């Protein structure tokens, strides 16, 4: 795990702010995310749905906002959930985020003060990224 910087804690504060907006009437598990990209911060919260599978995670909400603003490279992401230990991004979010920099910094927090920082690559090694699609497929 990596040392925690002031910038990490600042990004986490934006994630905590977003967590307040979470719509989680089914799980009761509120999640907030903040992405730092292109010098700006983009927030997201989980938005659940009566058709449970239609739920959107906080990280993907933040990623959508960052891309909408023209960013396709993310420097870092912060995630905060209602868990006691720092909340880690789910598998689908790890894949989704890897599209925009497999080595981005990931800052994680929970209900307590304890914060963890690592790179996405550490959480999600060997991500399937666009390079695989660019490889020669003519021999099929
Ligand atoms: N959730 C997120 O928003 N991000 C994650 O990475 C983990 C899970 C949300 C989805 C659902 O609304 C709730 O947490 C419980 O799974």
Q: What is the pLDDT of residues 4-19, one digit of tens each?
A: 999 999 999 999 999 9
User: Residue 139 — very low, low, confident or very high, per pLDDT cuts 50/70/90?
Assistant: low
Q: Is 78 in the pocket of ligand 1 (CB under 6 A)?
A: no
57 CA from centroid of ligand 1 (Å):
5
Topology of the domain comprising 6-133: Cytidine Deaminase; domain 2 (3.40.140)
134 CA from centroid of ligand 1 (Å):
32
Q: Is 58 in the pocket of ligand 1 (CB under 6 A)?
A: yes
**What's the whole-number mean pLDDT along residues 101-124?**
97
- Buried/exposed 120-140: b ≥16 CB within 10 Å, e otherwise: beebbeebeeeeeeeeeeeee
Work out the end-to-end distance of the chain between its first and last CA atoms, rounded to an integer number of angstroms. Answer: 42
Q: How many CB atoms lie within 10 A of CB 100?
A: 20
Name the phi and psi angles at 43, rounded to 5. -105, 155
Q: Is 80 in the pocket of ligand 1 (CB under 6 A)?
A: no
CA gap 5, 98 in Å, rounded: 22
pLDDT score at 2: 80
**From atom 1 of ligand 1, which residue's Cα is the shortest distance away?**
57
């Amino acid at each position: 795990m990596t040392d925690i910087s002031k910038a990490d804690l600042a990004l986490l504060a934006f994630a905590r702010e977003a967590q307040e907006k979470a719509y989680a009437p089914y799980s009761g598990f509120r999640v907030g995310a903040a992405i730092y990209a292109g010098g700006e911060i983009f927030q997201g919260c989980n938005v659940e749905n009566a058709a449970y599978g239609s739920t959107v995670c906080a990280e993907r909400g933040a990623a959508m906002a960052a891309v909408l603003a023209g960013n396709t490279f993310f420097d870092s992401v912060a995630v905060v959930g209602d868990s006691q230990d720092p909340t880690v991004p789910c598998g689908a979010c790890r894949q989704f985020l890897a599209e925009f920099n497999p080595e981005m910094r990931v800052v994680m927090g929970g209900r307590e003060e304890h914060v963890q920082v690592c790179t996405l690559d550490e959480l999600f090694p060997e991500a399937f990224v666009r390079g695989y699609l660019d490889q020669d497929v003519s021999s099929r």
